[in-house]
Chain A
Amino acid sequence: MSSRGFLLATYAPGSSLIHRAPLWLKFLLVVGCGMASFLIADWAISAVVLALLCGLFLLSGAGPARLFRAVRPVLPVLLAIGLFQWWQLGAPTAARIVLNVLICVVAASILTATTPVQALLDGVASLARPFRRLGADPERFALTIAIMLRSIPFVAGAYSDVRDSARARGLERNLRALVLPVFITTVAYARQTGEALAARGLGEPEDAEGQ
Chain B
Amino acid sequence: MSGIVLDRVSVRVPVDGSPAPKTLLQMVSLSLTERRIGVIGANGSGKSTLLRLLNGLVAPSDGSVMVHGADTARAVREVRRRVGFVFTDPLSQLVMPTGREDVELSLRRSIRNAAERRAHAEAVLDRFGLLPLADQSIYELSGGERQLLALAAVLAVDPEVLVLDEPSTLLDLRNRELLRRTLAGLRQQVILSTHDLELAMDMDRVLVVDAGQVVFDGGPAAAVAHYRQLSPASLPTAGINLGRPADELAGDGLARARQDRLDKR
Chain A interface residues toward B at CB < 8 A: 1, 4, 10-11, 13, 116-119, 121-122, 139, 146-147, 150, 169, 184, 188-189, 191-193, 195-202, 204, 208-211
Contact = CB atoms under 8 A, between A and B. Distances in A.
A13 B97 CA distance: 13
B88 to A, nearest CB: 11
Contacts of B101: 11, 116-118
Contact of B109 (A10, A118, A202): A202
Interface of B: 55, 57, 73-78, 80-81, 84-85, 87, 92-98, 100-101, 104-106, 108-109, 114, 117-118, 135, 137, 139-140, 153-154, 157, 251, 262, 265
B104 A118 contact: yes
A20 B140 CA distance: 27
A209 B76 contact: yes
A202 B104 CA distance: 12
Given A201-B80, A202-B106, A208-B76, 8 more contacts: A10-B137, A11-B97, A118-B114, A118-B117, A119-B114, A196-B93, A199-B93, A201-B157
A60 to B, nearest CB: 15
B75 A118 contact: no
The 9 lowest CB-CB distance pairs between A and B, nearest first, are: A201-B80, A199-B85, A210-B74, A192-B92, A196-B93, A118-B104, A117-B101, A209-B77, A188-B262
30 contacts: A4-B140, A10-B137, A13-B135, A116-B101, A118-B108, A118-B114, A118-B117, A122-B114, A139-B108, A146-B105, A150-B97, A193-B95, A195-B57, A196-B94, A199-B85, A200-B80, A200-B85, A200-B153, A200-B157, A201-B81, A201-B109, A201-B157, A202-B109, A204-B76, A204-B77, A208-B77, A210-B73, A210-B74, A210-B75, A210-B76
A121 B265 CA distance: 28
Contact of A209 (B75, B98, B109, B137): B75
Contacts of B104: 118
Nearest to A187: B262
A184 B75 contact: no
Contacts of B98: 10-11
A3 B95 CA distance: 16
Given A139-B108, A169-B251, A117 B117 contact: no
Contact of B265 (A192, A199, A204): A192
Nearest to A198: B57
Nearest to B107: A118
B226 to A, nearest CB: 30
Contacts of B95: 146-147, 150, 193, 196-197
A200 B105 CA distance: 10
A209 B78 contact: yes
A195 B57 CA distance: 7
Contacts of B109: 201-202
Nearest to B98: A11
B119 to A, nearest CB: 13
Contacts of A1: 139
Interface centre among A117, A139, A189 (most CB of B within 10 A): A117
Nearest to B79: A201
A202 B96 contact: no
A146 B87 contact: no
